[in-house]
């Protein structure tokens, strides 16, 4: 499509947004700037306040404190039906007495869009969600996955200036979800609308979004592009949530021009390029599963840690190997399946944490375990 069919594209500003339910603060002083036409994702575990935030933006809930601006205009007191928002929920609410075609074209027609344009958009969106040939079906004749796609198509066709997507894919089968994930970004981008998506699935967030906000207990802990979040998570919580990450406790032994040496529990040493911590400081060493080298047998090399293969999980393109290290800790390694297949349960192995990939965090006050809780 040469231009988006969204009538006007807006930016969203949230200032000090707070919402309490009884004694629970579901949304705690959230500040966010979402740009025009941006596909923005709010990612976090269950109960982090993601859906509440979305409902506040839609006007389905009233904030206790804070302001919501659409294009610089305060909308706190604007009722939901006047906010011009397209909403896709996890449960799909379609008009049961209307066909797929009628469901999808209802919004733009009511809005007074030129019927020829509606026809074109309707056909295009339905073919994008692979449902053009089911245009004359009624919702009850469709599978759950198809109904969810109709709901999506309806929101996308609506021409609303803001799309709010609450776990739009999570009611679908895993395989279909994966397939639609690749399509969803395309379709949303083509409408030109600003879109805010809520999910607890990191892959969905990483693959789809321009930017991601990570929410924890009602607070935004980091906002960034997918790549920056993945490569530079600012906290143990974010690292744990967005990467497949190993964590070890350690003490900084030596800091020099080229990096630092950290002693893990039980004595093994690791080397890192990170020099920001003092000698003697208690730290957490973080390294992604895919940034751990693993070799069969015991090979002598500096900073190697030896262990035994304890578990092997086949993931398709990858194999995940869990190694019980000789210091009693576990390390997970993710390898392309074509390399990983040569390891077997019980094998002695040499592991090596890549110095360039290690991230070092100060030891958290509440303890490491507390930072790793995701529920």
Partner 1 sequence: MPDVKLVNISKRYGKGKIIAADKVNLEIKDGEYFTILGPSGCGKSTLLKIIAGIVKPDEGEVYVGGKLINDIPIEERHIAMVFQNILLFPHMNVEENIGYAPRVKGIERERRVKIVEEIVSMLKLTLRSTAFPDELSRGAQQKVSLARAIASETNLFLLDEPLSALDSRVRLELRYELRRLVKELGVTAIHVTHDQEEAMSISDRIAIMKRGRIIEVGSPVELYLGPRTIFTAHFLGKMNFMEGTVKEVSKGECLVEIFGGVKIRTKVKGRFLRERVVLAIRPEFIKLSKTINESDQNVIEGKIVEKFYTGSYVYYKVKLENGIEVFTLTEAKKMYNDGDKIYASFPPEYVILFKYPEEGLEKQISLE
Could you list the residues that contact partner 1 (CB under 8 A)?
45-47, 143-146, 173-176, 178-179, 181-182, 185-186, 200-203, 206-208, 226-227, 230, 241-244, 288, 290-291, 311, 313-317, 320, 336-338, 341, 374-375
Q: Which is nearer to partner 1, 64 or 322 (CB)?
A: 322
Instruction: Output the smallest distance, CB 356 to partner 1, in A.
Output: 11
Instruction: Output the smallest distance, CB 165 to partner 1, in A.
Output: 17
Q: Which is nearer to partner 1, 95 or 314 (CB)?
A: 314
Distances in whole angstroms, Cα of residue 375 to Cα of each of 48, 207, 213, 229, 341: 9, 23, 18, 20, 33
Q: Which of 165, 229, 215 is nearest to 194 (CA)?
A: 165
Q: Which of 279, 280, 278, 286 is nearest to 248 (CA)?
A: 286
Q: Which is nearer to partner 1, 60 or 176 (CB)?
A: 176
Q: Which is nearer to partner 1, 72 or 316 (CB)?
A: 316
Instruction: Output the smallest distance, CB 180 to partner 1, in A.
Output: 11
Q: Which is nearer to partner 1, 102 or 310 (CB)?
A: 310
Report d(CA 228, CA 152) in Å as an integer. Answer: 29
Instruction: Output the smallest distance, CB 28 to partner 1, in A.
Output: 19
Instruction: Output the smallest distance, CB 36 to partner 1, in A.
Output: 21
- Residue 363: exposed, middle, or buried by beta-carbon count in 10 A (0-12, 13-18, 19+)? middle
Q: Which is nearer to partner 1, 45 or 259 (CB)?
A: 45
Instruction: Output the smallest distance, CB 17 to partner 1, in A.
Output: 23
Taken in order 93, 99, 100, 106, the sign of the CA dihedral is negative
Q: Which is nearer to partner 1, 85 or 242 (CB)?
A: 242
The residues with which 220 forms a beta bridge, in sequence order, are 215
Distances in whole angstroms, Cα of residue 235 to Cα of each of 49, 191, 206, 285, 372: 19, 35, 17, 12, 11
Instruction: Output the smallest distance, CB 176 to partner 1, in A.
Output: 5
Instruction: Output the smallest distance, CB 251 to partner 1, in A.
Output: 26
Q: Which residues contact 75 (CB under 8 A, 6 or more apart)?
A: 59, 68, 69, 83
Q: Which is nearer to partner 1, 33 or 290 (CB)?
A: 290
Q: Which is nearer to partner 1, 24 or 374 (CB)?
A: 374
Instruction: Output the smallest distance, CB 171 to partner 1, in A.
Output: 10
Report d(CA 271, CA 253) in Å as an integer. Answer: 10
């Amino acid at each position: 499509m040469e231009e988006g069919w969204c009538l006007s594209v807006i930016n969203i500003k949230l200032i000090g947004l707070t919402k309490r339910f009884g004694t629970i603060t579901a949304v705690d002083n959230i500040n966010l700037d979402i740009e025009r036409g941006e596909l923005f994702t709010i990612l976090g575990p269950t109960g982090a306040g993601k859906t509440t935030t979305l409902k506040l933006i839609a006007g389905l809930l009233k904030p206790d404190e804070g302001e919501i601006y659409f294009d610089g205009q305060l909308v706190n007191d604007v009722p939901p039906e006047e906010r011009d928002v397209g909403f896709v929920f996890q449960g799909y609410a379609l008009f049961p007495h209307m066909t797929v075609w009628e469901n999808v074209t209802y919004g733009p027609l009511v809005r007074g869009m030129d019927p020829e344009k509606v026809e074109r958009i309707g056909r295009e969106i339905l073919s994008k969600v692979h449902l053009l040939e089911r245009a004359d079906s009624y919702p009850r004749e469709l599978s759950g996955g198809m109904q969810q796609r109709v709901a999506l198509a309806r929101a996308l066709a609506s021409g609303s200036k803001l799309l709010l997507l609450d776990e739009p894919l999570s009611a679908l089968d895993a395989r279909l979800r994966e397939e639609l994930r690749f399509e969803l970004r395309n379709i949303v981008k083509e409408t030109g609308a600003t879109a805010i998506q809520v999910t607890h699935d990191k892959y969905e967030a990483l693959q789809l979004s321009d930017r991601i906000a990570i929410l924890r207990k009602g607070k935004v802990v980091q906002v960034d592009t997918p790549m920056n979040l993945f490569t530079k998570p600012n906290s143990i919580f974010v690292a744990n949530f967005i990467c497949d990450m190993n964590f070890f406790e350690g003490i900084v032994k030596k800091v020099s021009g080229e990096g630092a040496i950290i002693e893990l529990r039980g004595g093994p040493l690791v080397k890192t390029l990170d020099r920001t911590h003092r000698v003697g400081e208690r730290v957490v060493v973080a390294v992604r599963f895919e940034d751990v080298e693993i070799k069969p047998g015991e090979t002598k090399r500096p900073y190697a840690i030896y262990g035994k293969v304890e578990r092997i999980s086949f993931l398709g393109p990858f194999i995940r190997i869990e190694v019980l290290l000789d210091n009693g800790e576990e390390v997970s390694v993710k390898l392309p399946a074509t390399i990983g297949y040569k390891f077997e349960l019980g094998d002695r192995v040499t592991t090596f944490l890549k110095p360039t990939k290690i991230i070092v965090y100060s030891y958290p006050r509440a303890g490491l375990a507390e930072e790793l809780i995701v529920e």
